Chains A and B, each alone.
Chain A
Amino acid sequence: MTTDTKLDTHGIADVVKTVPGVTALYSAHPTLVTLASRALEKTAATSIVDGPIAATATAIKIRIGIDHTQSTGEIGGAVYLAVQNHLHTANRQLDQTIHIEIASIR
């Protein structure tokens, strides 16, 4: 597997934090399908994975907290766009689903 087939969630986390309305980033981790990878998913469930993620990841799950300034749809959509733009900027051709979970509203 080459470096080009990997994704750096650390960069994604930085991008998510800059989206207006996002007040907290609880986790950003891959969701993987292989049994061997489930341990990684469990380990990463409450933390931000800092480093490359194999392209075998089928989804990236990002848990955030938001404020009252906009609707859940607006902020969630903005986060999705920010992550997508980040991937395009990095010339990533990955096709993972991006799951954004709004875990708190304050």
Chain B
Amino acid sequence: MTPPVDPPTAPEHDDSRLDGYTLDQLSDYLDVGMTPPNPDIDSSAACQIALTSLRRVRAASALLLDAEADDESPPGDGWVERILNAISLDFHAGRSIPVAHPSPRAVITTTEGAIRGLIRAAGDTVHGLLVGRCTLDGDITTPGAPIRIRVDASVFWGQQIPKTATQLQEAISLAMSNQTELNVTAIDVTVHDIYRP
């Protein structure tokens, strides 16, 4: 059976790879419908987060292609590459965020990468926007420490930017308060791109 992607070859410390795989390899894996299954990718949290983001960007790209259907100029995919390049480092596990538990024998943590995935998922609930790079500023390894979330976003043409940014802030705030114990004191949204069909 021929594997859908080449096996990892890079050293573990290569930050451009996710458990040994590049974004291009993961994109190829999506292209072949994730079959035959690759156990290394399927059991890697970083790869799974990256695959989710790839699906998200592809879905947004498809929306833009639909909007551009009547446009004479061919749609470029440079913006997709820019977004993926910007967020590629965000898929790594990063720092460990403690989750409170009364038992001294229980150590529960959430990875920084998982929280960034949660932020992007919150972005999915806001129409006409795609979340790019996310950063968590502050000592997230200390319970209760103030955390500032910084998010880069791309907005589709026709969206009211202040309103869309506010909706994103609210969605992220809700997700953080419902699902984490982080003390989020600020959420900064920077709109870097507007995509016009």
Interface residues of A (CB under 8 A from B): 24, 26-27, 46-47, 59, 63, 65, 68, 70-73, 76-77, 80, 95-106
- Residue among B106, B113, B115, B181 with the highest chain A CB neighbour number at 10 A: B106
Beyond the given pairs A104-B48, A105-B118, A105-B121, 4 more chain A to chain B contacts, judged by CB atoms under 8 angstroms and listed by A's residue number, are A26-B45, A65-B45, A101-B108, A102-B114
Set of chain A residues within 8 Å of B178, measured between Cβ atoms: 71
B110 at the interface (CB under 8 A from A): yes
Is the CB–CB distance between A100 and B106 below 8 Å?
Answer: yes
Do A103 and B113 form a contact, CB below 8 Å, given A80-B103, A95-B105?
A: yes
Do A104 and B106 form a contact, CB below 8 Å, given A65-B45, A68-B121, A80-B101? no
Total residues of chain B contacting the partner, CB 8 A: 33
B49 close to A (CB within 8 Å)? yes
A104 touches B114 (CB 8 A): yes
Contact assessment for B52 and A101 in the assembled complex, using a CB-CB cutoff below 8 Å: no
**What's the least CB distance linking B108 to chain A, in Å?**
4
Q: Is the interface of B mostly helix, strand, loop or mixed?
A: mixed
Chain B residues within 8 Å of A96, by CB: 105
B66 at the A interface (CB under 8 A): no
Between B108, B109, B175, the greatest number of chain A beta carbons within 10 A of the residue's beta carbon is seen for: B108
Residue contact A103 to B93, C-beta cutoff 8 Å: yes
The residue among B46, B48, B96 with the most chain A CB atoms within 10 A of its own CB is B48
Inter-chain contact A105/B114, CB cutoff 8 Å: yes
Task: Please tell me if the beta carbons of B179 and A71 are within 8 angstroms of each other in the complex.
Answer: yes
- Contact check, B96 vs A97: say whether CB atoms are below 8 A apart: no
Nearest-CB distance from B19 to chain A (Å)? 7
B107 at the interface (CB under 8 A from A): yes
- Does B179 contact A68, Cβ atoms closer than 8 Å? yes
Q: Is the CB of A24 within 8 A of B101?
A: no
